[in-house]
Structure 1
């Protein structure tokens, strides 16, 4: 607990704010490794890192591999501070407004699609221990994290999810997680507070194509089955681009990684 208080203070977020959003963000033994240039960047307001974040969220900077080392502390402060929650709130509120205004059919075929990682579930506890995206992706370490089923819900996404269900929409989870992670993902969603979804679609374990093609193909299958994709919520541009992406797309912020 003392470690959590120290890290929350270091990152510029109050413990109350961080605890409400992610009650298990920092576990015992996890720590930040801010480098000297990260400290300098943070002390000057992180202007280069702000520009970098703007470029990735607007999809002007693509196919990047890791967060720049000098932006580690900037990304950590963003994710654990107020702004990440505020940005997510703006996105999900606009999604809810659109859902309210849409002329539903009430035949059970109007759906909303949600991605999982950094959309429905937060992997921030994992990435906090790995330099907030500055380290190369380690599939074995991430698989171990997924199996722990400890990922908390992104609070504003969970609120939108429940609101959409009350409006009569069906929910489809379309994830880039592979099929062998189904059981852990299913159980983690339940623990995080998600209930009564219509479908949970995983990537085949032997799939070798791009995330964009995979998600486009799966959305096509949903449309072929008679579903109408009203809204599509994701944190990656590969969640939202391609074909049959829905009447409206809503992108959540994610400065941790980029998926093609």
Structure 2
């Protein structure tokens, strides 16, 4: 988990997450994710947050000044250098990245927004081999969705730096997505299974319960066996069972995975 002092400093100023988001031109959900250390803030956004809190960068994001100065002195920047700075909560890669990919058995390609940090992870995932009878999924977030990609099913991928419009029916099927918040894409061109599932409740620290959707992604992230099955209960209380080895991709709306918490501070 990435470290920062945003919550402490905004609380001292009686600024809510919603107000801070408005001040810096982003969403409350994004502020919540940065504040809780789930994602690093791009340098421009981090500087805007510091200006809103009237504090220098190294106070809001400890150690960031030193790491950034060291980074800028280097003639050749590596992914390892970027990752080192990201641990302080700052993302130095300011690019708007998109991954263009084809899934096995599908004629049309997908364009998925991807963060700079997940782009780096994506590259290294393809350098490792999948063990027999297991499935290796890459889990990553866009601004609206969480994805899980079965590496075995990706037959082509290319990173584009143009910030292109997503192609996964995110906008074309807007009316459908108003109802269905979970989409499971089957292998070998088998199509898409849409489900409507209730939002996960915030994590219970006493019981360590994380909700069925977060648990689903946690399972996919841990190289499950091909024959494993996962049960999802929809909003009507009806159980659906999915075979892990039959999944090419999962897409779930972030709003149901990480609901924006009430913020009265």
With the length of structure 2 as denominator, give the TM-score of the two structures: 0.30
Higher strand fraction (1 or 2)? 2
- Give 1 or 2 for the bigger CA radius of gyration: 2
With the length of structure 1 as denominator, give the TM-score of the two structures: 0.31
Q: Which has the higher contact order (CA 8 A, sep 6+)?
A: 1
